Chains A and B, each alone.
Chain A
Amino acid sequence: MDKGRSQRITSFYQKTISDDGRPDQQVAAYHERFFDTLANMDASGARHVIDEAIEAGIPPGTIILEVFCSVMERFGEMQANQEITLSEIYAIAKIGQATIDQLMALLPASTHKSGTVVIGTIVGDFHGMGAKIVGIFLRMAGFEVHELGINVPSTTFVDTAIEKKASIICASTLLLHTMDQIRTIHDILDERKLTNSIKLVVGGAPFNFDSELYKTVNADATAINASDAIEVVSRLMEAM
């Protein structure tokens, strides 16, 4: 994995948080313990490690950058390398979301964000875990994410993107034939002359089984996992 991809989460927080500490031994130990608790899908253990780090006087900014971000990026790399399963990355995303909410509450409110994304699983498909995981990772990377859930009609994706001023729609499917509904999202964007201002990213098993398939639904890009989604969405936004 290239360095740029693996550090997308960190780079967002570096824009808003000052790293008051150094990755010294104490912080490195918290990193390893936080990693272990997440690897064991131990939500209360993860919370305990973060509580302990806060009580030990380590600045929240340092915890976010040197413990949270670097651990999440390690898991992102592991997912990219197929070293962890869907259940693991799902648990890690959920625990990670709770952790970052806890830590960000300790910092002054920031209005900075990476961009706005609408995400959901297309109509006819009730497999929502993949989109949920990607949504959480995007949020952790600083995006404002509007989750639409499962079985979402094509028009809802577009209407919500317009309403929330999103520049990216992320549509997921596990089923090959519901891909047609994703093509409909593109058609609606095209009809409304929005293809330059709203980009369409697709994900899910069929697109992972065939890396060229996203072109058949006129999507702008595909992402094979959560960390790849951060990279793809960031790249598209930078190019807009």
Chain B
Amino acid sequence: MNEMTSLERVLATMTHKQPDRVPVFPILLLHGAAELGMGLEQYFSKGAHWAEGQLKLRDKFGHDCVVGVPHVVQDITAFGAEVMYWKQGPPSPGRMVIHSWKDVNQMTVPDPYAVPELVETLKAIELLAKEVKGEVPIIGAAIAPFSLPSMLMGTERWMDLLLFEEPAVRKEVMGRMLEITLDFCAAWSNAQLAAGADVIVLADGMASAAVLTRRQFIDLALPVVKAIVPRIKGNVVHEGVGHLYPMLDLLVDTGILGVILSHLDDIAVCRKIVGDKLALIGNLNNIEMLRWSPEKMAQKSREAIKDNASCTGFVLSAQGPEIPLGVSDEVIRAMVQAPRDWPC
């Protein structure tokens, strides 16, 4: 088979056709700063920086994607939340913006084009599109509407609302909250697609089997997934940020293209559950790989490819959100090399 471009390779596997080899996505949101010789806060201040960082990283490693978003918490800036920067990792929320249910009633849906941080992301995607559109998949991302509230009010408060609040209050506050996050997520995702993103990853950290029971997922999270996916005018991948296999069958008919799996998901089991209806992306342990050798990475990558049993419907990647800074270039190279050494 002739060598495919990264986009052809990814499109083939995502649509369950035979690619020339398994595509590989090492999600590198942080490593680009060093390529540009700058600290993370400066790196994250301009879309032009991380667009350049993404391109340099792809030139260096030869993987099959570029990522248009800088980090996972940028969405909360649209709601007035502060972001706290760190020297060795991605930013984290500086404070919560919802302190009472009254705050929810006073919220409005932010316009992504009016939020400076998000505008930088759109610039980055546009720059990436200018350079690699049509050859390399450009990945966009948004916090899923069901999980975004936990980043605005804290996981405990969100869980208290879902589990312990009076039904009438829960219905009203949860309804209003999800109305806002659904509208925002749709607008934000579509803005990224319009700027040139090829796919939107919906990060739904409160909706995995680590957090919710299957029943809770059906009652609380699944309706939100079903509501948001049709509103996004492009390809959508779901990321549970935790294991998903107990509810994977429920995601098959939601309109998503694939799922990002946790290292606790068994790829072979997941493949049996979804058949050829969803692509599987994952599922290397991004924390443990901090102390992997290149040989160990090669072995783990091969095992993941082998577990999928074929080259179709699978992208070799790590569980989210990103590969930590301490993972060496040699280890990343071993991951990118594995599909080349393990042909279809």
Contacts and interface: CB of A to CB of B under 8 A. Distances in A.
Given A87-B211, A124-B92, A43 B287 contact: no
B86 A41 contact: no
Contacts of A210: 285, 287-288, 290-291
Given A87-B213, A126-B155, A177-B89, 10 more contacts: A87-B162, A87-B216, A127-B154, A129-B155, A175-B92, A177-B86, A177-B90, A178-B92, A206-B287, A210-B291
B89 A176 contact: yes
A126 B93 contact: yes
Interface residues of A, number: 29
Interface centre among B156, B210, B325 (most CB of A within 10 A): B156
Interface in A114-159: 124-129, 132, 150-151
Interface string B291-323: 100000000000000000000000000000000
B37 to A, nearest CB: 20
A90 interface: yes
B163 interface: yes
A88 interface: yes
Contacts of B109: none
A120 to B, nearest CB: 13
Given A87-B212, A175-B92, A178-B92, A128 B154 contact: yes
A87 B88 contact: no
A213 B287 contact: yes
Interface centre among B212, B285, B290 (most CB of A within 10 A): B290
Interface of B: 84, 86, 88-90, 92-93, 95-96, 151, 154-156, 159, 162-164, 209-213, 216, 263, 285-288, 290-291, 324-325
The secondary structure that dominates the B interface is loop
Interface string A154-181: 0000000000000000000001111010
B159 A129 contact: yes
A238 interface: no
Nearest to B324: A176
Contact of B213 (A88, A94, A125): A88
B231 to A, nearest CB: 26
